[in-house]
Structure 1
Amino acid sequence: MISNYIKIAIRSLLKFKGYASINLIGLALGLTAGIMIMLYVMDELSYDDFHSKSDRIYRVESQFISSDAGSGPGGMETNAWGVGNVLRKDYPEVEAVLYTQRATSLLVSYEGRRIREQIHFASPEFFDIFTFPLKRGNAQKALNEPYSIVITENMEKKYFKGEDALNKTLVLGDTMQFVVTGVMENLPSNSHIQIDMLISFSTFTNVLVPQFNYEDGWGNINMRNYVLLKEGTDAEAFKEKAKGIYTERAAGMLRDWGVRANVVFMPLNKLYLTAASNGLGPLGSIDRVYLVSGIAVFVILLACINFINLTTARSVYRAKEVGLRKVVGSTRESLIRQFLSESFVLTLMALIIAIAFAGLLLPLFNQLLAKNYVVTSLMQPSVALGIVGLILVVTLLSGYYPALVMSGMRPAEVLKGKMQASARGGQLRRVLVIFQFVISVSLVLGTLIVLDQLSYMQQQELGFAKDEIFVVNAARAKAANPESRETFEEQLKSLAVVEDVTFTNSVPGNPGWVGQVAYPEGRSGEEAVSVEYMAIDDHYMKTLGLQLVAGRGFDAQREAELKDGLVLNETAVSMFGWASPEEAIGKKITSPSGYPEGEVIGVVKDYHQLGLQQKIGPMAMDYAPRNSYLYAVRYKAANTQQLISQVSDLWQKHFPGNDFNYFFLDQDFERQYQSEQRLARVFGLFATITIVIAVIGLLGLVSFMVSSRTKEIGVRKVLGADVLHITSLLSKEFLILVVVANVIAFPLAWYFADQWLQHFANRVDVDPLVFAVTLFIAVTITLITISFQTVKAAMADPVKSLRYE
């Protein structure tokens, strides 16, 4: 029976090739979008679900809330060193506590090969908490002893060329020898932890920093902790119980800092998509998942609407077939199954095309969403099962209503030739066409508004000079001798292509030391303000083109100011309660941590240290080359290659064996807008797909409308109607539908755009011109689409359409 349905379905599709082709292309485009987005969504939602104890694992975070209202919105991913120890000793609900530190990038050597790698420290609980199997080695002992290192299979191949790495020695830095005690399987791509080398935490605590008491220290907020709760633990009750660890154990520190603090626990299965930061690997976005999922639903709906519109519109031409089938005994249920079979066969054919389209579009899709999918990713069991479900959903969505309509035809009326197109069906088709264009227009509007906001941020005055600034990162670079850092800077200044050089811990686009707190003289620590601390030198303001509004900058000749002076920005002056920049000069600032602390000698005009998504925060600048590691070089335009070559030569001279890491300030600052750029491309891609689907459907409907009004057109031409009049007559209905769709889409798009723009501290106002441009695009596309059929019909010889009348 099923095979018979399929045979009949294939014959029917071959009989109506033109309309079947239109439906096929529309469904294929919809399925292409659905398949790619489903692949992305399933991947994003699968992060960290391979851990056998994932439901009991939490990342420990610290939430600091200072007296100024703008700080402390969420949890830091690091904690005071003592937090983990308190959890381990005083909370019976906790089964294990992991200590981990992102160490540094070090040169790793083995038999002459020297490569810089990112290194992490981890305590032995790493393998108790997480499900990262060892291919070789004992997971219970691998991270117990100092100078132990666990590597992934990729690292084993990289350094040992197919040999067994277990018990072999790697040299880190220049002299530290580490024994390979374990080889991990390569970490899954859907893990929020992406590391290749783990050093035993005892190396960190017993050898590298033995002076720190990591069990009871509270001043250093740089430890990452994960906890594994015991089975049966009431997680919510535990979170509430452990929330006040800082208040109970470090009340004096909090009072000095002028902050309140809570310990919060991020569930592992929510970490990747909802956490604010992740120093151990990638970070996703649940909002992005919702966005692309919504787009996929709408694109698939548009494709199904095409099928519904074209199939119901042409139901008149299949009326006699339905009537005959009913006369010879077909029931309504069997007819529904027959028409659903046609929908199923067409959807299967569309799936084959969609998989081919997806293979072609995956490189672009990967670029849009920063992924690395391949065609074989579609063969994963979960994705394949999802595709099966998608096929069934599309078959029912697109086929069920037309099947109901056609199976409900009355054979007596049909066979007597009294069957006419339903007025109700025509109204439904109009509504569905409007819905299609509402979605398409909304996506076009979204694209234009995102591009408008992006352009606004890129063109705003930043308050500093970002062009022709070349930055060399000397963090963790080992100098040839103690004088090399200063000598390197001096020799940079002597280069003919260089105009100025500054040595700092932060340049625009990169935050300084955030989370520092300070308060002005005459106030207490309870009134402290969260301040971004920056270490600069006496060339910083000139090199970056900052503008002084009061006082002066640092001067190498004023040694007392170099030691105790501070330069603030205007926002800091305001938040410290001074009425003007001039009033701030000579005032003192105190900080529990010592940074920033001193006397205000100058105030700079506010500038954007970070992207325009964020408001300008209070900043304090201190003369502190000892805390600096970035050389920012202002150079003469058109000498870029010469500059890179000359600076590279100097680098190899003063920092031999260290990687030459550099970037251009303007390009690095633009990096902050990658999310908006990616969003604009996503909107653009799917707006294009929805427009194509809508146009295909519109083309089919216009073709049907023209064929059903052939005689009317012939009569009008005989009576004197010209081509323009007939074209206008045939086009008017569709243009009205498109305009109505725009009227509906505009307020919806404006509302959601305004909600999105509220996330930006500096935002564009939605320009009415955007709506005008969108309307013009929609009307133009509609006119071009329908004119192919309407002009052809208007120019046809009326004799041919009326010869049998």
Structure 2
Amino acid sequence: MFLIVKQERSFNQNHENLNSIYRVGHVDVEDGREYPQGGVPLVMPASIKDEIVGVKEVTLISHERYGLISVNNGGEIKYYEEDPELVYIEPSFFDVFDWEVLEGSVESVFNQPNIVALNKTLADKYFPNQSAVGQTIKLNKETDLKVVAVMEDAPKNSDFPFGIFISMETKKAKDPKEFNNWGSISSDNVAFVLLENNVEPAKIDAQFPDFVEKHWDKDTREARTFLLAPFTEYHFDERFGTFSGRVAPKTILYAYIIIGVLLIVTACFNFINMSTAMAVKRSKEVGMRKVLGSTRKQLILRFIGETFAITLIALLISMALTERLLPMVINDFIGIEVPFNPIADLALLGYLIAILLAVSVLAGLYPAIVLSSAKPIYALKGSMTKGKGNLFFRRSLVFTQFLICQILIFGTVVAVQQMNYFSSVDMGYDQEYILNINLAETDKGTRDLWDSKVQNIPGVVSYSFNYKPPFSGSQSVTNAYYYGVDSAVNELNTHVKMADDQYQKTYGLDLVAGDWLTKSDTVNQFVVNETFLKKLGITDPNEVIGERMMLWGFNAPIVGVVKDYHVTTLSEAIEPVAMFNRQENFRTLGLRINGQSSANVIAELETIWYDIHEEYEFDYTFLDKEIADFYEGERKMSQMLTVFAFIAIFIGCLGLYGLVSFMANQKAKEIGIRKVLGATVANIMSRFSMEFIVLVGLSFLLAAPLAYWGMNSWLGQYEYRIAIGPIIFLISIGASLLIALSTTGYRSMRAATANPVNSLRDE
């Protein structure tokens, strides 16, 4: 747990100006709901620098999601697909962030088009055994880029996994209109600001309302709030996401810490119970040492020393297991590489020493006090002094253990049910046997070639050329203007989906009014979703059919309305969506296939792929797998809770067994007398069990509200979630009772069936 939390907290710490760097994000508020967005219009960063006081520097980073790099090396052309590593940057990038230049220079060159810097790994891959500086690479078979520098590789604990840095002027030369469009916002375009010394982010936030007033119209001004998000929180901020695609929510890290502490405390309590249960067997030793002159202080130090030795052995074993299991289990489980080097890592070494001392004292002090307090006259007879306070303390330990167990059981059940809900909820489109391929080349000729070949593949039910499937990780949001029957202009923040005439059939969208898009080479129709209408206050979908709207400068009629569907995860509410046919944006081929023919279809697609794109690697994804991947973090949390719940239950059972053993030893004579007087085994077992049923019940009374509060807070991040009903409470207490009765039953039966002669005999 410590290693995971430590590694997550180390992300993005390699920048000198870390505490002065902020991300520009915004939140749109509609109908009382907040919709955070981490992207900005491409035109915005330059205006921030000119108009916002207190900003020392601003830089725009634009992620290129589809990039093919071709390198002519000695007459041989090689192709490399570099999706996550390719970004467009401004010259100010190197003023805001620290990135070491190993060769060449980035000074005064990134204000020109067709300039690129490579990280060392890619430079060595593209140009082995020679300098990359001065060489030329080609982007997407059309844009020549001159290599001006070789950069250090991004550290593994960075959310900037960049390897190819292209000048922003290159992007601007390809699409200059987008750099004057205030209405188009993509999550791939992110702005960061470096503040002047002693300038608080609140001072910048206070200037954004006037900034919005100047650059957006009335409807947007009323709904949109820009804000600065500290770069120190970049790795943890779920609202806006990261370039690496990984976010480590602090709630999860806190959960790791809390669970780790609870498990250690539970184990210590268990050790205390087991040690005190064994106290009777060591009583003669204690009595003999006292008779021979040992002081109580010496006995306490001796017993704590024994606990220290046991803890040290356990720590060494756990370190060996961690070193072996870390790369095989933990690194794969959380998706990052967690280093383990206790000799070189002073923080880790300090933690290990601290945990060794803390556990030794926490687990060893009370048993040492109990054992050392025994009076020699009783100890030499093989018994310990009885005390209600001691028994109450041990019961309190078991109570706490079952409190922790029930909280973990409750949390596990809630997390598992929420994950089951994710997999069963109707997303508004079909998911099974929908296959998506990112096209390597997107020109019309290539699409026509695919079209002619795919239609002849047996097992393909339908197919669609589009920009993105209904659900995708990257979102494009823009302002749409609806011209209603009263000629009033209504502006809406709208998700855009570029789709062809087969999109609705392929992905299974449901039309509720009008028709779907027809085949066209131009944008002459729009289809919107039901939420688009709800935002306008329209209840009858037929009312908008034929009415005009404008989006991205295209003015066209609405021809259809589809049933609402989820374009993002279930943590967000459904938002307005507009779909239109714009072929130059088509990057994806989506196919609905026959499940029984999937293997043959994929083989046919691979053959076609290499016929058309021999220089690219063939890759595909199934839509249901893409959706499941977005909930990987929640799935792993569910698995983690399950594992730790079982560990806590196991430890709790040992502790409970220890308490039952202690009570059985203490009440041995009482049990013997009851048996002599005619008590049955069932009577004796029920007396034992009832006491622990009461302990479980009392712990449940405290665990239930605590667990409910914690898991209800966790569920609060999801717009679509399960309700925590009575069945979850029943499962929690039912499992706890079953565990308690199973554990106590075995030990109490041994006590109840023991020969009373042995317990009633006195030395």
Give the letter for the 1:533 counterpart: V
Partner of 1:229: 195
| Gap change, CA 1:520 and 1:334, over 3 Å in 2 | farther
- Indicate whether 1:184 and 2:151 are aligned: yes
CA distance in 1, matches of 2:108, 2:354: 46
Choose which of 633, 654, 658 in structure 2 pairs with 1:696. 654
CA distance in 1, matches of 2:758, 2:290: 35
CA distance in 2, matches of 1:180, 1:241: 41
| Gap change, CA 1:144 and 1:388, over 3 Å in 2 | farther
Instruction: Give, in angstroms, the shift of residue 440 of structure 1.
Output: 0.8
Instruction: Give, in angstroms, the shift of residue 576 of structure 1.
Output: 1.4
The SS at the match of 2:641 is helix
| Gap change, CA 1:140 and 1:387, over 3 Å in 2 | farther
Partner of 2:60: 99
| Gap change, CA 1:418 and 1:544, over 3 Å in 2 | closer
CA distance in 1, matches of 2:630, 2:291: 69
| Gap change, CA 1:438 and 1:93, over 3 Å in 2 | same
CA distance in 1, matches of 2:340, 2:198: 42
Give the 5 Å matches for 1:241-320. Answer: 242-244=207-209, 246-247=211-212, 249-250=214-215, 253-255=216-218, 261-281=224-244, 282-315=246-279
Choose which of 496, 500, 503 in structure 1 pairs with 2:458. 496
| Gap change, CA 1:163 and 1:525, over 3 Å in 2 | farther
Choose which of 696, 707, 711 in structure 2 pairs with 1:753. 711
Choose which of 366, 391, 401 in structure 1 pairs with 2:356. 391
Choose which of 546, 553, 561 in structure 2 pairs with 1:594. 553
Partner of 1:342: 306
| Gap change, CA 1:496 and 1:542, over 3 Å in 2 | same
CA distance in 2, matches of 1:321, 1:296: 36
- Indicate whether 1:199 and 2:159 are aligned: no
| Gap change, CA 1:388 and 1:767, over 3 Å in 2 | same
Partner of 1:533: 496
TM-score, reference length from structure 1: 0.84
CA distance in 1, matches of 2:451, 2:37: 38
Give the letter for the 1:598 counterpart: A
Partner of 1:463: 428
- Contact 2:205 2:226 (8 Å CA) reproduced: no
Give the letter for the 1:491 counterpart: K
Q: Which whole-Å deviations, capped at 9, do the CAs of 1:441-488 have from their partners, x for residues lacking one? A: 1111111111112212322333322222222222xx325x74221331
- Contact 2:48 2:58 (8 Å CA) reproduced: no
| Gap change, CA 1:770 and 1:378, over 3 Å in 2 | farther
- Contact 2:407 2:707 (8 Å CA) reproduced: yes
Give the letter for the 2:546 counterpart: G
Give the letter for the 1:497 counterpart: G
CA distance in 2, matches of 1:364, 1:287: 22
| Gap change, CA 1:496 and 1:318, over 3 Å in 2 | closer
Give the letter for the 1:98 counterpart: T
The SS at the match of 2:646 is helix
Choose which of 534, 537, 543 in structure 2 pairs with 1:583. 543
CA distance in 1, matches of 2:343, 2:459: 53
CA distance in 1, matches of 2:22, 2:531: 37
CA distance in 1, matches of 2:739, 2:649: 9
- Contact 1:336 1:404 (8 Å CA) reproduced: yes
Give the letter for the 2:525 counterpart: G
- Indicate whether 1:734 and 2:692 are aligned: yes
| Gap change, CA 1:227 and 1:576, over 3 Å in 2 | closer
Q: Which whole-Å deviations, capped at 9, do the CAs of 1:305-330 have from their partners, x for residues lacking one? A: 11233334445555666667667776
Instruction: Give, in angstroms, the shift of residue 42 of structure 1.
Output: 0.9
Give the letter for the 1:191 counterpart: S
CA distance in 1, matches of 2:668, 2:643: 37
Partner of 1:150: 117
Partner of 1:23: none
Partner of 1:645: 603
Choose which of 511, 514, 528 in structure 2 pairs with 1:568. 528
- Contact 1:258 1:525 (8 Å CA) reproduced: no
| Gap change, CA 1:358 and 1:504, over 3 Å in 2 | same
Give the letter for the 2:194 counterpart: L
- Indicate whether 1:53 and 2:17 are aligned: yes
CA distance in 2, matches of 1:482, 1:377: 58
Choose which of 97, 103, 106 in structure 2 pairs with 1:130. 97
Choose which of 434, 445, 469 in structure 1 pairs with 2:410. 445
The SS at the match of 1:356 is helix
CA distance in 2, matches of 1:213, 1:710: 85
The SS at the match of 1:752 is helix
Give the 5 Å matches for 1:683-722. Answer: 683-722=641-680
The RMSD of aligned alpha carbons is 3.4
Partner of 1:78: 40
The SS at the match of 2:69 is strand
Q: Which stretch has the larger CA shift, 691-700 or 762-771?
A: 762-771
Give the 5 Å matches for 1:307-386. Answer: 307-315=271-279, 335-359=299-323, 361-362=325-326, 363-373=328-338, 375-376=340-341, 380-386=345-351
CA distance in 2, matches of 1:744, 1:702: 23
The SS at the match of 2:526 is strand
Partner of 1:764: 722
Instruction: Give, in angstroms, the shift of residue 351 of structure 1.
Output: 0.5
Partner of 1:429: 394
The SS at the match of 1:745 is helix
CA distance in 1, matches of 2:27, 2:211: 10
| Gap change, CA 1:523 and 1:425, over 3 Å in 2 | farther
| Gap change, CA 1:496 and 1:227, over 3 Å in 2 | same
Choose which of 479, 486, 500 in structure 2 pairs with 1:516. 479
- Indicate whether 1:549 and 2:547 are aligned: no
Partner of 1:17: none
CA distance in 1, matches of 2:343, 2:689: 42
- Indicate whether 1:776 and 2:742 are aligned: no
CA distance in 2, matches of 1:801, 1:312: 19
- Contact 2:25 2:240 (8 Å CA) reproduced: no
Give the letter for the 1:640 counterpart: S
- Contact 1:257 1:525 (8 Å CA) reproduced: no
Give % identity. 29
CA distance in 1, matches of 2:365, 2:263: 19
Q: Which stretch has the larger CA shift, 414-423 or 49-58?
A: 414-423
Instruction: Give, in angstroms, the shift of residue 235 of structure 1.
Output: 2.1
Paired residues in the alignment total 752
| Gap change, CA 1:404 and 1:574, over 3 Å in 2 | same
Instruction: Give, in angstroms, the shift of residue 349 of structure 1.
Output: 1.4
Give the letter for the 2:536 counterpart: F
Instruction: Give, in angstroms, the shift of residue 82 of structure 1.
Output: 4.1
TM-score, reference length from structure 2: 0.88
- Contact 1:95 1:228 (8 Å CA) reproduced: yes
Instruction: Give, in angstroms, the shift of residue 301 of structure 1.
Output: 1.1
| Gap change, CA 1:707 and 1:432, over 3 Å in 2 | same
Choose which of 735, 754, 757 in structure 2 pairs with 1:796. 754
Instruction: Give, in angstroms, the shift of residue 427 of structure 1.
Output: 0.8
CA distance in 2, matches of 1:719, 1:447: 47
CA distance in 2, matches of 1:587, 1:145: 45
